[in-house]
Amino acid sequence: MICLLKKGELKFIGVVEVSGELSRVRIFPKFCVGLHGLDNFSHLIILYWFHLRDREEERRTLQVIPRRHPGAPQVGVFACRSPSRPNPIGLCVVELTKIENCILFVKGLDAAEGSPIIDIKPYIPQADSVPDARAAEWTLSGPPT
C-alpha cells in the first residue's frame, strides 16, 4: 500500500469576479504570462475551488442524490459532479469570448462569484472529446454539468 506522507499544495491563480451568462475570471498578475497563446482556443477547461462547500461536513460526503437531475438515484460523489466531495474541486468547459489584460471573458462557467481558480487548460477536441462515451441514463435530464 502506498502512503502519502506529505500534503499537496495548491496555488490559486485567479478568481471568478462575475458569474453569469458572460463570466469574468481575473487571473492574478504573477500568472498572466501563462495566458500567452490561450486566445488561439475557442474553449477552455477551468478547474476551480468550490469555496462555498469547503467545510468538513461537506468533505465527508460520499453519496448524494444529484439535485440538478430530476429522478437521479443516489450515487457516490465520484459518479456525479456534486460540489460536496472530499476535495471540493470543480471542472467546467467554457467558451472563451475574449481576453483583456489578465481577465478572461467566458460563457458557460458554472462557478460562483468569488470561486478561486486552480488551473486553466485549453480544450483540445482531439484529446478531450470522446464520441462514443457512455454515461448513466439519469445524466440525460437536467443541465449539462
Across 30-58, average pLDDT: 97
d(CA 140, CA 99): 33
Specify whether 59 is located in the same domain as 36. Answer: no
The pLDDT of residue 142 is above 80: no
Highest mean pLDDT among 70-74, 78-82, 99-103 belongs to: 99-103
User: What is residue 140's three-state secondary structure?
Assistant: helix
Please check whether residue 57 lies inside any domain of the structure: yes
Q: Is residue 129 included in any domain, yes or no?
A: no
Q: Tally the domains of the chain.
A: 2
According to the model, what pLDDT value does residue 143 have?
A: 75
The predicted-structure confidence for 59-73, as pLDDT tens digits, reads as follows: 999 999 998 888 899
**pTM of the shown model:** 0.89
Q: How confident is the model at residue 79 (pLDDT cuts 50, 70, 90)?
A: very high
Q: Considering the domain boundaries, does residue 132 fall inside one?
A: no
More confident residue, 67 or 86: 86
**For residue 137, is it within any domain?**
no
Which domain range does residue 83 map to? 53-87
pLDDT of residue 3: 66
Do 83 and 53 form a contact (C-beta atoms < 8 A)? yes
Q: What cell does 112 get?
A: 460562483
